C-alpha cells in the first residue's frame, strides 16, 4: 500500500521586528501568503494525527518557543484559512516578566547605548573577559556567550550568568513588549481554538543533550505538568529545543519524554516523515521570512528530501 510522506514545517515568530538576529520572524503579510500557497497546493494535516493513515503527501505546521505573536498574528490567519497548527511552548518565562534567554542576551548586549567597555564573567570554569566597547565587539560577546550558554552550562548556571550580565548592564531586568511570550491566559485562549494544539518545549529552552538525566527530566517534566495544569488536559506532544539529533537531544531525552506521556516529538532533522520514521524523531524543515516566490522554490526543494 502506498503511504504518504509529511513535510513538517517549523516557525518561531510571526511579527515585524526591528532586530531579528536569529532570523526567527516571518512578517504577518508573508506568513499569510505562505499559508495561502500551502492551502492551494497541499493537504495540510494536524501534527498529532496518525499520519500512517495518509494515502498522499501532506504538510504539517508547527511553531516553537511560544511567543505571544503566535496568538496575535499567526492564529487569526490560521483561523481565517482554517489551517491547523501546533504550538510548542517553553513555560519558564510565563508570568515572569522575562524574555527567552537569547532575547535577554540580545537586550543586554545589542540594544541601547552607554555600555561599560568590557564584561568580565565570573565563573570558575568559563571565566572570561570580553571587550564590549563597540557594537562589533558586543556582537562577538553575544555570540560567545550564546555558544557557551547553549552548549556547556546548566539552566541554573545560565541564570547565574544572566544576573551578572544584568548587574553589569545596570538596568532593570524585564521583558520588552516586542519579545513577550504567551501567558497562562494566552495559552488557555490558544488551546480553545479548534485549529491549534499545544505541546511542550521544556521550561527554559536548554540543549537537552548537554544536561545530565536529572536536569533533562526537570526541564521536560515540569513544562509538561505546567501546561497540563493550565490547560486541564493531557499534553502528548513535545518539541526538543534546537532539535538536532545527538547534538540537542539523545536516547535519554526520548526515554524521558516517553515516560512523561509524550507520544510524538519534533526534531529539526532536515528530512521528510515517512511511515518508517520514529514518532519521537519527527523531522522538520525551517521557514524563514521568504516572499511567496522564494517560498514556492523552497517548498519544491523541500520535497526532494
Output the smallest distance, CB 211 to Zn ion, in A. 15
Output the smallest distance, CB 149 to Zn ion, in A. 14
Q: What own/partner pairs with CB < 8 Å and gap ≥ 24 does 291-297 have?
A: 291/30, 291/33, 292/30, 292/33, 292/34, 292/37, 295/30, 295/33, 295/34, 295/37, 296/37
Output the smallest distance, CB 281 to Zn ion, in A. 16
Q: What is the DSSP string of 158-200?
A: HHHHHHHHHHHHTS-----GGG-B--HHHHHHHHHSTTEEEEE
Output the smallest distance, CB 304 to Zn ion, in A. 26
Burial label, 11 (beta-carbon count in 10 A; 0-12, 13-18, 19+): buried
The three-class DSSP label of residue 6 is strand
Output the smallest distance, CB 207 to Zn ion, in A. 10
Output the smallest distance, CB 201 to Zn ion, in A. 6
Q: Compose the 230-269 pattern: x for residues touching Zn ion by CB under 5 A, - for all others.
A: -----------x----------------------------
Smaller CB separation from Zn ion, 99 or 169: 99
Q: Which residue is nearest to Zn ion (CB)?
A: 64
- CA–CA dist 18, 23 (Å, integer): 12
Footprint of Zn ion on 78-107 (CB under 5 A)? none
- In eight-state DSSP terms, residue 235 is -
8 Å CB contact between 215 and 158: no
Smaller CB separation from Zn ion, 58 or 287: 287
Burial label, 88 (beta-carbon count in 10 A; 0-12, 13-18, 19+): buried
**Strands 58-65 and 285-286, how do they pair?**
unpaired
8 Å CB contact between 149 and 192: no
- In eight-state DSSP terms, residue 117 is S
Q: Which stretch binds Zn ion (CB under 5 A): 61-69, 102-110, 188-196, 295-303?
A: 61-69
Smaller CB separation from Zn ion, 155 or 241: 241
Q: How far is CA 132 from the centre of its chain?
A: 28
Output the smallest distance, CB 253 to Zn ion, in A. 14
Smaller CB separation from Zn ion, 75 or 200: 200
Q: Compose the 191-230 pattern: x for residues touching Zn ion by CB under 5 A, - for all others.
A: ----------------------------------------
Output the smallest distance, CB 66 to Zn ion, in A. 9
Cα distance between the two ends of the chain: 21
Q: Which stretch binds Zn ion (CB under 5 A): 42-50, 56-64, 180-188, 211-219?
A: 56-64
How would you classify residue 232: left for phi > 0, otherwise alpha for psi between -120 and 50, otherwise beta? left
Smaller CB separation from Zn ion, 241 or 283: 241
The three-class DSSP label of residue 20 is coil
- Binding residues with Zn ion: total (CB under 5 A): 3
Smaller CB separation from Zn ion, 33 or 216: 216
Footprint of Zn ion on 62-81 (CB under 5 A)? 64-65
Smaller CB separation from Zn ion, 238 or 295: 238
Smaller CB separation from Zn ion, 103 or 289: 103
Q: Which stretch binds Zn ion (CB under 5 A): 22-30, 59-67, 70-78, 160-168?
A: 59-67
Q: Which residues bind to Zn ion, rule: CB under 5 A?
A: 64-65, 241
Amino acid at each position: 500500500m502506498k503511504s504518504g510522506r509529511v513535510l513538517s514545517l517549523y516557525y518561531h515568530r510571526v511579527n515585524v521586528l526591528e532586530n531579528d538576529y536569529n532570523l526567527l520572524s516571518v512578517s504577518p503579510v508573508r506568513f499569510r501568503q505562505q499559508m495561502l500557497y500551502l492551502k492551494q497546493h497541499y493537504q495540510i494535516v494536524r501534527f498529532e494525527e496518525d499520519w500512517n493513515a495518509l494515502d498522499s503527501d501532506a504538510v504539517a505546521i508547527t511553531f516553537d518557543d511560544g511567543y505571544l505573536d503566535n496568538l496575535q498574528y499567526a492564529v487569526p490567519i490560521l483561523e481565517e484559512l482554517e489551517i491547523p497548527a501546533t504550538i510548542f511552548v517553553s513555560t519558564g518565562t510565563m508570568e515572569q516578566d522575562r524574555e527567552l534567554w537569547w532575547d535577554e542576551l540580545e537586550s543586554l548586549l545589542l540594544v541601547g547605548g552607554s555600555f561599560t567597555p568590557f564584561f568580565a564573567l565570573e565563573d570558575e570554569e568559563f571565566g572570561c573577559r570580553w571587550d564590549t566597547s563597540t557594537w562589533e565587539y558586543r556582537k562577538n560577546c553575544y555570540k560567545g556567550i550564546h555558544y557557551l550558554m547553549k552548549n556547556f552550562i546548566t539552566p541554573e548556571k545560565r541564570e547565574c550568568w544572566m544576573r551578572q550580565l544584568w548587574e553589569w548592564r545596570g538596568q532593570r531586568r524585564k521583558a520588552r513588549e516586542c519579545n513577550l511570550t504567551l501567558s497562562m491566559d494566552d495559552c488557555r485562549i490558544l488551546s480553545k481554538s479548534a485549529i491549534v494544539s499545544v505541546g511542550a518545549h521544556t521550561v527554559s529552552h536548554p540543549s537537552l543533550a548537554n544536561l545530565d538525566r536529572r536536569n533533562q527530566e526537570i526541564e521536560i517534566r515540569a513544562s509538561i505538568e505546567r501546561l497540563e495544569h493550565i490547560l486541564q488536559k493531557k499534553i502528548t506532544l513535545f518539541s526538543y529545543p534546537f532539535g538536532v539529533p545527538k547534538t540537542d537531544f539523545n536516547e535519554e531525552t526520548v526515554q524521558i519524554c516517553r515516560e512523561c506521556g509524550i507520544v510524538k516529538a519534533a526534531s529539526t532533522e532536515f528530512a521528510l516523515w515517512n511511515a518508517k520514521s520514529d514518532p519521537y524523531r519527527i523531522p522538520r524543515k525551517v521557514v524563514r521570512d521568504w516572499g511567496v516566490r522564494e517560498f514556492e522554490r523552497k517548498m519544491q526543494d523541500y520535497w526532494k528530501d
